[in-house]
Amino acid sequence: MTKDIKILAIESSCDETSAAVVVNGREVLSNVISSQIDIHKKFGGVVPEVASRKHIEVINEVVLEALSTSGTDLKDIDAIGVTYGPGLVGALLVGLQYAKGLAFSINKPLIGVNHIEGHISANYIQYKDLKPPFISLVVSGGHTFIVHVKDYGVYEVIGETRDDAAGEAYDKVARALGLGYPGGPAIDKLSKLGNEAAVKFPRAHFHEETMDFSFSGVKSAVLNYLNKCRMTDEKIVEADVAASFQKAVVDVLSDNVFTTCKKLGADKIAIAGGVASNSALRSKLLLEGSKNNIAILIPDPVLCTDNAAMIGSAAYFQYIKGEFAPLSLNARPNLKLGQK
Protein backbone atom coordinates (compact mmCIF):
# COMPACT_ATOMS: atom_id res chain seq x y z
CA MET A 1 0.00 0.00 0.00
CA THR A 2 1.69 3.18 -1.24
CA LYS A 3 -0.83 5.76 0.00
CA ASP A 4 -0.39 6.98 3.56
CA ILE A 5 -3.37 6.00 5.69
CA LYS A 6 -4.52 8.55 8.28
CA ILE A 7 -6.65 7.27 11.13
CA LEU A 8 -8.54 9.57 13.49
CA ALA A 9 -8.73 7.55 16.70
CA ILE A 10 -10.90 8.00 19.79
CA GLU A 11 -10.44 6.41 23.23
CA SER A 12 -12.89 6.73 26.15
CA SER A 13 -12.89 3.35 27.89
CA CYS A 14 -12.32 4.62 31.43
CA ASP A 15 -11.35 8.06 32.73
CA GLU A 16 -9.26 9.52 29.90
CA THR A 17 -10.85 11.17 26.90
CA SER A 18 -8.36 11.01 24.05
CA ALA A 19 -8.17 11.60 20.32
CA ALA A 20 -5.24 11.16 17.97
CA VAL A 21 -4.26 11.26 14.32
CA VAL A 22 -1.99 8.37 13.37
CA VAL A 23 -0.36 7.68 9.99
CA ASN A 24 0.28 4.11 8.85
CA GLY A 25 -0.06 2.77 12.37
CA ARG A 26 3.30 4.09 13.55
CA GLU A 27 3.60 7.85 13.11
CA VAL A 28 1.68 10.01 15.58
CA LEU A 29 0.70 13.47 14.34
CA SER A 30 -1.26 14.29 17.49
CA ASN A 31 -2.29 12.54 20.70
CA VAL A 32 -4.53 14.68 22.90
CA ILE A 33 -5.48 13.33 26.34
CA SER A 34 -7.93 14.88 28.78
CA SER A 35 -7.39 13.18 32.14
CA GLN A 36 -9.95 12.92 34.93
CA ILE A 37 -7.51 11.91 37.68
CA ASP A 38 -8.05 15.06 39.73
CA ILE A 39 -11.84 14.61 39.52
CA HIS A 40 -11.80 11.01 40.78
CA LYS A 41 -9.12 11.48 43.44
CA LYS A 42 -11.62 12.63 46.02
CA PHE A 43 -13.62 9.43 45.49
CA GLY A 44 -10.56 7.17 45.82
CA GLY A 45 -11.19 5.63 42.40
CA VAL A 46 -13.08 6.01 39.15
CA VAL A 47 -16.83 6.65 39.47
CA PRO A 48 -18.38 5.38 36.20
CA GLU A 49 -21.24 7.89 36.02
CA VAL A 50 -18.92 10.82 36.70
CA ALA A 51 -16.49 9.55 34.07
CA SER A 52 -19.23 9.26 31.44
CA ARG A 53 -20.50 12.78 32.06
CA LYS A 54 -17.00 14.23 31.78
CA HIS A 55 -16.40 12.38 28.50
CA ILE A 56 -19.57 14.00 27.11
CA GLU A 57 -18.34 17.45 28.17
CA VAL A 58 -14.90 17.30 26.56
CA ILE A 59 -14.96 14.82 23.66
CA ASN A 60 -15.76 17.31 20.90
CA GLU A 61 -13.08 19.71 22.12
CA VAL A 62 -10.50 16.89 22.35
CA VAL A 63 -11.20 15.65 18.81
CA LEU A 64 -11.02 19.16 17.35
CA GLU A 65 -7.72 19.75 19.14
CA ALA A 66 -6.30 16.48 17.79
CA LEU A 67 -7.20 17.49 14.23
CA SER A 68 -5.87 21.03 14.68
CA THR A 69 -2.59 19.95 16.30
CA SER A 70 -1.95 17.43 13.52
CA GLY A 71 -2.74 19.95 10.79
CA THR A 72 -5.29 17.53 9.40
CA ASP A 73 -8.67 18.27 7.87
CA LEU A 74 -11.50 15.76 8.24
CA LYS A 75 -11.55 15.27 4.46
CA ASP A 76 -7.98 13.91 4.71
CA ILE A 77 -8.96 11.21 7.24
CA ASP A 78 -9.24 7.67 5.80
CA ALA A 79 -11.09 6.04 8.71
CA ILE A 80 -12.33 6.57 12.26
CA GLY A 81 -10.95 4.14 14.86
CA VAL A 82 -12.62 3.86 18.25
CA THR A 83 -12.40 1.72 21.36
CA TYR A 84 -15.56 -0.38 21.79
CA GLY A 85 -14.42 -2.62 24.66
CA PRO A 86 -13.45 -3.67 27.20
CA GLY A 87 -14.10 -0.86 29.66
CA LEU A 88 -16.87 1.02 31.47
CA VAL A 89 -19.98 0.73 29.36
CA GLY A 90 -21.12 4.33 29.80
CA ALA A 91 -17.67 5.70 29.05
CA LEU A 92 -17.27 3.46 26.00
CA LEU A 93 -20.63 4.56 24.61
CA VAL A 94 -19.66 8.24 24.62
CA GLY A 95 -16.63 7.70 22.41
CA LEU A 96 -18.32 5.08 20.27
CA GLN A 97 -21.45 7.13 19.54
CA TYR A 98 -19.34 10.17 18.71
CA ALA A 99 -17.16 8.12 16.36
CA LYS A 100 -20.17 6.54 14.66
CA GLY A 101 -21.78 9.93 14.07
CA LEU A 102 -18.54 11.35 12.71
CA ALA A 103 -17.89 8.38 10.41
CA PHE A 104 -21.43 8.64 9.02
CA SER A 105 -21.21 12.41 8.49
CA ILE A 106 -17.94 12.27 6.52
CA ASN A 107 -18.72 8.93 4.84
CA LYS A 108 -15.58 7.19 6.11
CA PRO A 109 -15.15 3.62 7.44
CA LEU A 110 -15.60 2.92 11.14
CA ILE A 111 -13.10 0.59 12.85
CA GLY A 112 -13.89 -0.87 16.27
CA VAL A 113 -10.75 -1.50 18.32
CA ASN A 114 -10.19 -3.76 21.32
CA HIS A 115 -8.67 -1.65 24.11
CA ILE A 116 -6.17 -4.37 25.09
CA GLU A 117 -5.06 -4.72 21.48
CA GLY A 118 -4.50 -0.98 21.52
CA HIS A 119 -2.14 -1.26 24.48
CA ILE A 120 -0.11 -3.92 22.67
CA SER A 121 -0.05 -1.82 19.50
CA ALA A 122 1.53 1.12 21.35
CA ASN A 123 4.79 -0.75 20.84
CA TYR A 124 4.48 -0.34 17.05
CA ILE A 125 4.56 3.42 17.61
CA GLN A 126 7.55 3.31 19.93
CA TYR A 127 9.46 0.73 17.87
CA LYS A 128 8.95 1.54 14.20
CA ASP A 129 10.53 -1.71 12.97
CA LEU A 130 8.76 -4.04 15.39
CA LYS A 131 6.93 -6.91 13.74
CA PRO A 132 5.26 -10.04 15.17
CA PRO A 133 5.87 -12.57 16.53
CA PHE A 134 6.72 -11.48 20.07
CA ILE A 135 5.48 -11.82 23.65
CA SER A 136 3.54 -8.98 25.24
CA LEU A 137 3.06 -8.42 28.96
CA VAL A 138 -0.07 -6.31 29.40
CA VAL A 139 -0.34 -4.86 32.91
CA SER A 140 -2.87 -2.20 33.86
CA GLY A 141 -5.53 -1.29 36.39
CA GLY A 142 -8.07 -3.58 34.81
CA HIS A 143 -6.01 -6.17 32.94
CA THR A 144 -3.04 -8.48 33.39
CA PHE A 145 -2.15 -10.75 30.46
CA ILE A 146 0.75 -12.56 28.86
CA VAL A 147 0.01 -12.64 25.15
CA HIS A 148 1.73 -14.39 22.27
CA VAL A 149 1.41 -11.92 19.40
CA LYS A 150 1.60 -14.27 16.43
CA ASP A 151 0.78 -11.69 13.75
CA TYR A 152 -0.92 -8.32 13.46
CA GLY A 153 -4.29 -8.86 15.13
CA VAL A 154 -3.58 -12.54 15.86
CA TYR A 155 -3.19 -13.32 19.56
CA GLU A 156 -2.94 -16.25 21.92
CA VAL A 157 -3.47 -15.51 25.60
CA ILE A 158 -0.85 -17.53 27.50
CA GLY A 159 -1.69 -16.29 31.00
CA GLU A 160 -4.10 -13.92 32.72
CA THR A 161 -5.14 -12.95 36.21
CA ARG A 162 -7.73 -15.12 37.91
CA ASP A 163 -8.86 -12.32 40.22
CA ASP A 164 -7.47 -8.81 40.71
CA ALA A 165 -5.43 -7.16 37.99
CA ALA A 166 -1.99 -6.02 39.12
CA GLY A 167 -2.93 -2.34 38.88
CA GLU A 168 -6.12 -2.98 40.85
CA ALA A 169 -4.06 -4.54 43.65
CA TYR A 170 -1.78 -1.49 43.63
CA ASP A 171 -4.78 0.83 44.02
CA LYS A 172 -6.25 -1.18 46.92
CA VAL A 173 -2.95 -1.39 48.79
CA ALA A 174 -2.32 2.32 48.23
CA ARG A 175 -5.74 3.09 49.69
CA ALA A 176 -4.96 0.98 52.75
CA LEU A 177 -1.69 2.88 53.20
CA GLY A 178 -3.46 6.23 52.84
CA LEU A 179 -1.60 7.11 49.65
CA GLY A 180 -4.65 8.13 47.64
CA TYR A 181 -5.53 7.56 44.00
CA PRO A 182 -4.05 6.54 41.60
CA GLY A 183 -2.16 4.03 43.70
CA GLY A 184 0.43 2.75 41.26
CA PRO A 185 2.62 5.86 40.97
CA ALA A 186 2.29 6.55 44.71
CA ILE A 187 3.48 3.07 45.72
CA ASP A 188 6.27 3.16 43.14
CA LYS A 189 7.53 6.48 44.55
CA LEU A 190 7.26 5.42 48.20
CA SER A 191 8.93 2.08 47.52
CA LYS A 192 12.18 3.83 46.62
CA LEU A 193 12.46 4.83 50.30
CA GLY A 194 11.75 1.34 51.68
CA ASN A 195 13.34 -2.07 52.18
CA GLU A 196 11.80 -4.58 49.78
CA ALA A 197 12.95 -7.47 51.99
CA ALA A 198 11.34 -6.08 55.16
CA VAL A 199 8.09 -8.06 54.88
CA LYS A 200 7.73 -11.42 53.14
CA PHE A 201 4.50 -11.24 51.18
CA PRO A 202 3.28 -14.30 49.20
CA ARG A 203 3.86 -14.93 45.50
CA ALA A 204 1.09 -16.91 43.78
CA HIS A 205 2.31 -19.70 41.50
CA PHE A 206 -0.08 -22.36 40.26
CA HIS A 207 0.83 -26.04 40.27
CA GLU A 208 -0.64 -26.84 36.88
CA GLU A 209 0.98 -25.87 33.60
CA THR A 210 -0.30 -22.32 33.43
CA MET A 211 1.16 -18.85 33.42
CA ASP A 212 -1.95 -17.37 35.09
CA PHE A 213 -1.65 -14.77 37.83
CA SER A 214 -3.42 -14.12 41.12
CA PHE A 215 -2.95 -10.88 43.02
CA SER A 216 -5.81 -11.06 45.52
CA GLY A 217 -3.62 -13.10 47.90
CA VAL A 218 -0.78 -10.59 48.11
CA LYS A 219 -3.30 -7.74 48.42
CA SER A 220 -5.06 -9.53 51.29
CA ALA A 221 -1.71 -10.33 52.92
CA VAL A 222 -0.83 -6.63 52.97
CA LEU A 223 -4.22 -5.69 54.44
CA ASN A 224 -3.92 -8.40 57.09
CA TYR A 225 -0.39 -7.27 57.97
CA LEU A 226 -1.54 -3.66 58.38
CA ASN A 227 -4.52 -4.71 60.53
CA LYS A 228 -2.32 -6.89 62.73
CA CYS A 229 0.17 -4.07 63.27
CA ARG A 230 -2.58 -1.62 64.18
CA MET A 231 -4.20 -4.05 66.61
CA THR A 232 -0.90 -4.75 68.39
CA ASP A 233 0.40 -1.16 68.23
CA GLU A 234 3.33 -2.33 66.14
CA LYS A 235 5.01 0.41 64.14
CA ILE A 236 4.17 0.39 60.44
CA VAL A 237 6.91 1.54 58.10
CA GLU A 238 4.81 2.43 55.06
CA ALA A 239 7.80 2.57 52.71
CA ASP A 240 8.85 -0.96 53.68
CA VAL A 241 5.31 -2.28 53.17
CA ALA A 242 5.06 -0.59 49.77
CA ALA A 243 8.46 -1.86 48.65
CA SER A 244 7.79 -5.42 49.85
CA PHE A 245 4.39 -5.52 48.17
CA GLN A 246 5.78 -4.16 44.92
CA LYS A 247 8.62 -6.69 44.98
CA ALA A 248 6.12 -9.57 45.33
CA VAL A 249 4.05 -8.36 42.36
CA VAL A 250 7.01 -7.63 40.11
CA ASP A 251 8.65 -10.98 40.87
CA VAL A 252 5.59 -12.93 39.73
CA LEU A 253 5.11 -10.83 36.59
CA SER A 254 8.75 -11.30 35.67
CA ASP A 255 8.90 -15.02 36.49
CA ASN A 256 5.84 -15.85 34.40
CA VAL A 257 6.73 -13.82 31.34
CA PHE A 258 10.30 -15.14 31.14
CA THR A 259 9.08 -18.71 31.64
CA THR A 260 6.73 -18.10 28.71
CA CYS A 261 9.61 -16.88 26.55
CA LYS A 262 11.66 -19.97 27.34
CA LYS A 263 8.74 -22.29 26.52
CA LEU A 264 8.03 -20.60 23.19
CA GLY A 265 11.60 -19.70 22.24
CA ALA A 266 10.67 -16.00 22.07
CA ASP A 267 13.37 -13.32 22.07
CA LYS A 268 11.27 -10.16 22.55
CA ILE A 269 8.95 -8.96 25.31
CA ALA A 270 6.86 -5.87 24.60
CA ILE A 271 5.38 -4.32 27.73
CA ALA A 272 1.99 -2.58 27.62
CA GLY A 273 -0.53 -0.93 29.93
CA GLY A 274 -0.36 1.66 32.70
CA VAL A 275 1.69 -0.46 35.10
CA ALA A 276 4.35 -0.73 32.36
CA SER A 277 5.41 2.74 33.60
CA ASN A 278 6.37 1.22 36.99
CA SER A 279 10.09 1.75 37.58
CA ALA A 280 10.63 -1.48 39.54
CA LEU A 281 8.95 -3.58 36.83
CA ARG A 282 10.98 -1.92 34.11
CA SER A 283 14.25 -2.41 36.01
CA LYS A 284 13.51 -6.06 36.79
CA LEU A 285 12.57 -6.92 33.21
CA LEU A 286 15.57 -5.12 31.75
CA LEU A 287 17.90 -6.95 34.16
CA GLU A 288 16.41 -10.37 33.47
CA GLY A 289 16.24 -9.64 29.76
CA SER A 290 19.94 -8.88 29.69
CA LYS A 291 20.70 -12.12 31.54
CA ASN A 292 18.55 -14.19 29.18
CA ASN A 293 19.39 -12.39 25.92
CA ILE A 294 15.76 -11.30 25.48
CA ALA A 295 14.99 -7.80 24.17
CA ILE A 296 12.71 -5.75 26.45
CA LEU A 297 10.56 -3.20 24.61
CA ILE A 298 9.08 -0.45 26.77
CA PRO A 299 6.93 2.36 25.35
CA ASP A 300 7.18 5.91 26.67
CA PRO A 301 4.90 6.51 29.68
CA VAL A 302 2.38 8.52 27.62
CA LEU A 303 1.88 5.43 25.42
CA CYS A 304 1.46 3.14 28.43
CA THR A 305 -1.54 4.91 29.93
CA ASP A 306 -4.87 5.05 28.06
CA ASN A 307 -4.46 7.11 24.89
CA ALA A 308 -5.91 7.30 21.40
CA ALA A 309 -2.61 6.95 19.50
CA MET A 310 -2.44 3.26 20.45
CA ILE A 311 -6.03 2.86 19.19
CA GLY A 312 -5.04 4.50 15.91
CA SER A 313 -2.15 2.07 15.52
CA ALA A 314 -4.35 -0.98 16.08
CA ALA A 315 -7.01 0.46 13.76
CA TYR A 316 -4.51 0.82 10.92
CA PHE A 317 -3.69 -2.89 10.88
CA GLN A 318 -7.42 -3.63 10.77
CA TYR A 319 -7.84 -1.07 7.97
CA ILE A 320 -5.34 -2.77 5.68
CA LYS A 321 -7.22 -6.05 6.23
CA GLY A 322 -10.53 -4.39 5.41
CA GLU A 323 -11.91 -5.08 8.90
CA PHE A 324 -14.53 -2.35 9.12
CA ALA A 325 -17.42 -2.15 11.58
CA PRO A 326 -21.08 -1.41 10.85
CA LEU A 327 -22.69 1.70 12.29
CA SER A 328 -24.71 -0.65 14.48
CA LEU A 329 -21.53 -1.49 16.44
CA ASN A 330 -22.26 -1.53 20.17
CA ALA A 331 -20.05 -1.17 23.25
CA ARG A 332 -18.81 -4.45 24.72
CA PRO A 333 -17.57 -3.83 28.27
CA ASN A 334 -16.37 -7.45 28.70
CA LEU A 335 -14.76 -7.86 25.28
CA LYS A 336 -11.97 -10.45 25.26
CA LEU A 337 -8.70 -10.16 23.39
CA GLY A 338 -9.08 -11.71 19.95
CA GLN A 339 -12.87 -11.42 19.92
CA LYS A 340 -14.62 -9.41 17.21
Q: Identify which of 271, 215, 274 has the alpha carbon closest to the alpha carbon of residue 37.
A: 274
Report yes or no: 252 and 166 within 8 Å, Cβ to Cβ.
no
Return the CATH fold of 132-300: Nucleotidyltransferase; domain 5 (3.30.420)
pLDDT at 208: 64
Domain ranges of the chain: 6-122+304-319, 132-300
Instruction: To the nearest 10°, report the CA torsion of 172, 178, 180, 183.
Output: -40
pLDDT at 207: 65
pLDDT at 54: 93
Q: Which residues of 302-340 are buried (b: 16+ CB within 10 A; e: fewer)?
A: ebbbbbbbbbbbbbbbbbeeeeebeeebebbeebebeee
Q: Identify which of 124, 185, 189 has the alpha carbon closest to the alpha carbon of residue 153.
A: 124
| Single-letter residue type at 314 | A
pLDDT at 133: 97
What is the C-alpha separation between 244 and 49, in angstroms, rounded? 35
For residue 132, say if its preceding peptide bond is cis, omega within 30 degrees of 0: no
pTM of the complete model: 0.92
Q: Which residues of 97-127 are buried (b: 16+ CB within 10 A; e: fewer)?
A: bbbbebbeeeebbbbbbbbbbbbbbbbbbbb
What is the C-alpha separation between 58 and 49, in angstroms, rounded? 15
Q: Identify which of 240, 250, 266 has the alpha carbon closest to the alpha carbon of residue 218.
A: 250
Degrees to nearest 5, angle at CA 186 with 35 and 12: 20
Cβ neighbour number for residue 84 with a 10 Å cutoff: 26
Q: How many CA atoms lie within 13 A of 305 on its CB side?
A: 19
Return the CATH fold of 6-122+304-319: Nucleotidyltransferase; domain 5 (3.30.420)
For residue 301, say if its preceding peptide bond is cis, omega within 30 degrees of 0: no
β 144-151/154-160 pair status: antiparallel
pLDDT, one tens digit for every residue, the chain (340 residues): 578 999 999 999 998 999 999 999 999 999 999 988 888 887 878 888 898 999 999 999 999 999 999 999 999 999 999 999 999 999 999 999 999 999 999 999 999 999 999 999 999 999 999 999 999 999 987 889 999 999 999 999 999 999 989 989 999 999 999 998 888 899 999 999 999 999 999 998 776 678 999 999 999 999 999 999 999 999 999 999 999 999 999 999 999 999 999 999 999 999 999 888 899 999 999 999 999 999 999 999 999 999 999 999 999 999 999 999 999 999 999 999 887 7
Please check whether the two domains, 6-122+304-319 and 132-300, share a CATH topology: yes
pLDDT at 326: 97
